[in-house]
Amino acid sequence: MSRHRDVVQLLSEARPAQLDRGLSIDLTTITAFPQEAPTRKTNTRRLVLAAGLVPTVAAAAAVAVTVAQNPAAPTPRPTLSQRTAPADKPATAQQFLLVAAEQVAVGEAATGRYWTTTTEHGETRQVGPKAGPYDIVLRMTAERWMASSPKDKSWEFYQSLGAAPATAADKEAWKRDGSPAQWTEPAPKGMKPIVIAAAGGPRRLRTPGGMGPRDYLLGGQPISPAALSALPDDPAALKAYLVRKHKDTGGLEGRNDYLFNSADALVLELPVTPEVRAAAYKLIAGLDGITSLGTVTDQHGRKGVAVAYTRRGDAGARAQTRLIIDPRTGHALAEESWHLGARDKLMSYTLITGAAWSDDAPPSK
Amino acid sequence: MTEPDAGARFTEMYAAHHEQVYAYAVSRAGRQLADDVVSETFLVAWRRLSAVPETPLPWLLVTARNVVHGRYRAEIRQASLAAELRAWVDEADADVADGVAERSAVLAALARLSESDRELLTLVAWQGLSNREAAHVVGCSVATFFVRLHRARKRLEEAMGEAPSTFDLKEFSR
């Protein structure tokens, strides 16, 4: 036993200095946010839920998405691309990606005061009684105004769209469960359980007072807007850059996974030039494990071609990321995470419903 | 809605605990993400201030834990953490003080453990939490916590005993 104590003692003495560092948060940016009334439980819970959800989204970091589709702020589609619209579907994922790269690269390199995006995110959760569990999908939308200049604040709005049974079978199970209008998720001991409401919530501003300059995330590492705009637009150079970054991470994530995730973020979420996006498509086309699933519809019913990247997860489970691309424009429409098994299951998705540069002032709420 | 003394209570809580929350965030998600985790944690704390117990640290760490798990894709968090763990070992290696070889070895061994083992050990060794508080943070009973901690200690010892050949970062995520 004493040996055990020693090793923890040793660990305690080896406490890295990196854990200690003064942190400068302006508390008024927090306390300006309204507090939840303790009595209105539904609200409080919804907030917690939202707090849990937004993040998944923000996973790609502070973030933005790329496709130009915002009806409110229309961005001209590359007309030239229409020419190459593949009425005849390319046979393989590689061929399709190369065509997509060709199409996307003809767009003009725009810039503006804000990179604005609107996205919808969904996540599947299992709920219900142990005897008859079923899946529900939680949905939310996010609208982001990411400032180009460090002098401007960035803004993020989000809104819960509520939750509903995932499939017809899940709906039956939900009815057997008594058609609840909310679900409770177990929380750590001593914590109030989190309640997921079927009803949506109001639109909310995420960070009161706006957010200061923020880096984007590429392959899990922060990257400044300036560094993003300086990315090489040659596929081989882009790959070499990402391979170097991958080494910096210590190679925890497999190299292929890292390259796919990074390139995926470039085509889907990050404000880069069409040329860089095209290079990212070509990079993906050159990766092992890429397959085409042909024409699919995204969660909004929009048609696109799905390119799938499959990797083996824990305990031999297979996880698949599907990148859905509009074959007419080469723009990414959505990303979906699937768990492959006896029955494939959609675990989460992100839909790009709009993305454009804007010089307008962000909405106040 | 806001209690008159809420601001004061919150500020005091922040002053007393933000360093610990930051340390926890670094040990779970790396410095690259730690600031975000801390901001998010205290934002939740502010908004739910009435739910924060008298002794707020375990509650804050539970919240930070939820933020860490909920906010980032596993790959992103693990990549950030990998960079962090490597930096610790590198710096310990670069240190010229006495006993550094052991410090570096224990940190390298820690990096080879599973995420859950690492969490238990660092909560006890670095956060100064009692076993009871640490059990609360990871969401298990005190009895279960003891069992898990015992195993984690054993695995840390084993990892230290292994030839610290190459510091294989691929191994520590799972």
Q: Do the domain assignments include residue A2?
A: no
| Angstroms from B47 CA to nearest CA on chain A | 4
- Contact state of A51 with B78 under an 8 Å Cβ cutoff: no
Using the predicted structure, report yes or no on whether residue A67 has a pLDDT greater than 50: no
Helices marked H in A62-183 — which ranges?
A: 79-83, 93-104, 168-176
pTM: 0.54
ipTM: 0.80
* Residue contact B80–A10, C-beta within 8 A: no
Task: Please give the tally of structural domains in chain A.
Answer: 1
| Residue A249 with chain B: CB contacts under 8 Å | 79, 82-83
Q: What mean pLDDT do residues A191-204 have? A: 80
Instruction: Give residues with Cβ within 8 angstroms of B69, minimum separation 6.
Output: none
Q: Which position has the token pair 């492959």? A: A340
pLDDT at A31 over 80: no
> Given a cut of 70, is residue A43 above it in pLDDT?
no
% residues pLDDT > 70 (chain A)? 72
Neighbouring-strand partners of residue A310: A320
Quickly state the pLDDT bin for A241 (edges 50, 70, 90). very high
**Overall average pLDDT of the A28-54 stretch:** 48
Nearest to A11 among B81, B85, B156 (CB): B156
Decide if A21 touches B, using CB distance below 8 A.
Answer: yes
What average pLDDT does this structure show over A121-134? Answer: 87
Q: What is the pLDDT of residue A235?
A: 92
What pLDDT is attached to residue B36? Answer: 84
Residue B93 confidence (pLDDT) = 74
Q: Is residue A73 pLDDT above 90, yes or no?
A: no
Q: Tell me what pLDDT residue A13 has.
A: 83
Residue A34, in any domain of the structure: no
Q: Which residues of A touch B75 (CB under 8 A)?
A: 220, 253, 257-258, 261
pLDDT at B43: 86
Candidate from A10, A15, A35 with C-beta closest to B47: A35
Residues in A touching B76 (Cβ below 8 Å): 59, 61, 217, 220
pLDDT per position in chain B (174 positions), as tens? 444 577 778 888 888 888 889 989 998 888 888 888 888 898 888 888 888 888 888 889 988 988 888 777 777 778 888 888 888 888 777 766 656 677 888 888 898 888 889 999 999 888 878 888 888 888 888 888 888 998 998 899 888 876 443 333 333 333
Domain-located, residue A53: yes
3-state secondary structure labels for all residues of B141-153? CHHHHHHHHHHHH
- How high does pLDDT run on average in chain A? 76
Within 8 A of B121 by CB-CB distance, chain A residues are: 8, 11
- Check CB contact of A156 with chain B, cutoff 8 Å: no
Answer whether residue A88 shows pLDDT above 80. Answer: no
Please give the pLDDT value at position A163. 92
pLDDT (tens digit, 9 = 90+) per residue, A253-278? 678 888 998 999 899 878 888 889 99
pLDDT of residue A317: 66
Task: Calculate mean pLDDT across residues A199-218.
Answer: 78
Nearest of A68, A316, A58 to residue A207 by alpha carbon: A58
User: Other C-beta atoms within 10 Å of A157: how many?
Assistant: 17
Predicted confidence (pLDDT) at residue A45 exceeds the cutoff of 60? no
Q: Does residue A212 belong to any structural domain of this protein?
A: yes
pLDDT tens digits, one per residue of A47-62: 333 333 333 333 333 3
Q: Decide if pLDDT at A158 tops 90.
A: no
Is the alpha carbon torsion for A173, A174, A178, A184 positive or negative? positive
Q: Stretch A115-128: mean pLDDT, rounded?
A: 88
A363 lies in a domain? no
Q: Which residues contact A316 (CB under 8 A, 6 or more apart)?
A: none
Contact A14 B107 (CB under 8 A): yes
Q: Between residues A237 and A74, which one has the greater pLDDT?
A: A237
What's the start-to-end Cα distance of chain A, in Å? 59
Residue B167 and residue A66: Cα distance in Å, rounded? Answer: 38
Q: Quickly state the pLDDT bin for A231 (edges 50, 70, 90).
A: very high
Q: Do B47 and A47 touch (CB under 8 A)?
A: yes
Residue A32 lies in a domain: no
Are A56 and B141 in contact (CB < 8 Å)? no
| H-only helix segments in chain A | 2-13, 28-31, 41-58, 79-83, 93-104, 168-176, 225-229, 235-248, 255-268, 274-285
Query: Half-sphere exposure of A161 toward its Cβ, with a 13 Å CA cutoff?
Result: 13
Flag the least confident range among A323-327, A350-354, B40-44, B78-82.
Answer: B78-82
Please report the pLDDT score of residue A334 as a whole number.
Answer: 95
- pLDDT (tens digit per residue) in A328-344: 888 899 999 888 877 88
Domain hosting A152: range is 40-358
Residue among A14, A30, A59 whose CB faces B72 most closely:
A59
Predicted confidence band at A37 (pLDDT cuts at 50, 70, 90)? low
* A149: confidence class by pLDDT, cuts 50, 70, 90: confident
**Do B22 and A10 lie within an 8 Å CB cutoff?**
no
What is the reported pLDDT for A15? 85
Structural domain contains residue A16: no
Tell me, yes or no, whether A17 lies in a domain. no
Supply the pLDDT for residue A206. Answer: 73
